[in-house]
Structure 1
Amino acid sequence: MAVELRGLTDNARKTAISELNGRLADSIALALAVKQAHWNVKGRNFIAVHELLDMLHNNLREQIDVMAERVQQLDGVALGTVEKVSGSTTLAEYPTDLTKAEDHIRALCDRYRDHGEKLRTAIDATDEAGDADTADILTAASRSADKDLWFLESHLE
């Protein structure tokens, strides 16, 4: 049975589902990139970087759940399988030959910047479509991504 959310047009709902699934794919891809770095990082400040990457992964996991649950609230289907994510993420593929902490951090910074930009675009799209609640969810994800990018970039100073 479909959930009817009062005050949302069909266009707002469809726009939100589409934007959420796009950002969900990127968030899952980014979370996997963070884990790739976490498992393979070596070098100065190893433990600090290793633990930072765990924190970043946990932050992404929280945002992923909130986005996927919002898709369900809007009577959509959250698309989070490896196959769907692989086919729809807009983030650059993460290199698997990196080991140095600084190389991982730079690669992750690039992806966090791209992710943050796309979150902000999705915020505008869902707000303009009339779904302030989804825009708020995406704003929280954007704020988290910006803070995590700051933590990463601070290791490059």
Structure 2
Amino acid sequence: MPEKYVSKLDDNTIEQMIDLLNARLAGAIDLVLAVKQAHWNTTGKNFIAFHELLDEVADRLREISDDIAERAVILGGVAKGTLQNVKSGTALDAYPDGILKTGDHIRELKERLMAYGGELREAINTASEAGDEVTADLFTSACGIIDKDAWFIGANAVDD
């Protein structure tokens, strides 16, 4: 295992947190790809505003994934962000690649963001119970961003 940059956490907790971080990393990267899929393929009312919003959401998701990956490395682990790791590690449903209408993308993305928010809430509890409040705080911060982006996207509901 690579070098650790933390103290006062036992090895079992560290290993548990690294696994948890990598699971949430897979979900965050999966979400980035789903958001970009929608960004590239959305059509309909309010196209440009929604298209630009999705770029902002993708940027925030990339920042979340970077923070999660770096925490895994700080704990002495390896960040597992390859396509193969994301595919096997994400708990999110596959994003449909045949949709075009903005309203359909809104529904699909809101659903996935909310599901990932639920995964983060579980991760917050797990990290807190394990005694790693720093990792719990990281997940808490990420969860607030995800909740807000679910609102930003969901509040765009259109009738098309």
The normalised TM-score by structure 1 is: 0.97
CA distance in 1, matches of 2:59, 2:4: 29
Cα-Cα RMSD: 1.0
1:4 Cα offset (Å): 4.9
| Residue segments in structure 1 that go unaligned for 5+ positions in a row | none
Question: Does structure 2 conserve the Cα–Cα contact (< 8 Å) formed by 1:3 and 1:75?
Answer: yes
CA distance in 2, matches of 1:145, 1:58: 12
1:11 Cα offset (Å): 2.1
Q: Does 1:96 align with 2:80?
A: no
The normalised TM-score by structure 2 is: 0.95
Task: Determine what percentage of the aligned residue pairs are the same residue.
Answer: 47
CA distance in 1, matches of 2:151, 2:76: 35
CA distance in 1, matches of 2:34, 2:3: 35
1:142 Cα offset (Å): 0.3
CA distance in 2, matches of 1:95, 1:75: 36
* 1:119-146 superposed Cα distances (whole Å, 9 cap, x missing partner): 0000100110010000011111100000
Q: Determine helix, strand or coil for the equivalent of 1:2.
A: coil
4+ residue segments displaced more than 4 Å: none
Q: Which residue of 2 aligns with 1:29?
A: 30
Q: Which residue of 1 aligns with 2:10?
A: 9
CA distance in 2, matches of 1:145, 1:52: 14
Q: Which residue of 1 aligns with 2:133?
A: 132
1:152 Cα offset (Å): 0.8
Number of paired residues? Answer: 157
Q: Does 1:60 align with 2:61?
A: yes
Map 1:74-153 to 2 at 5 A.
Answer: 74-153=75-154
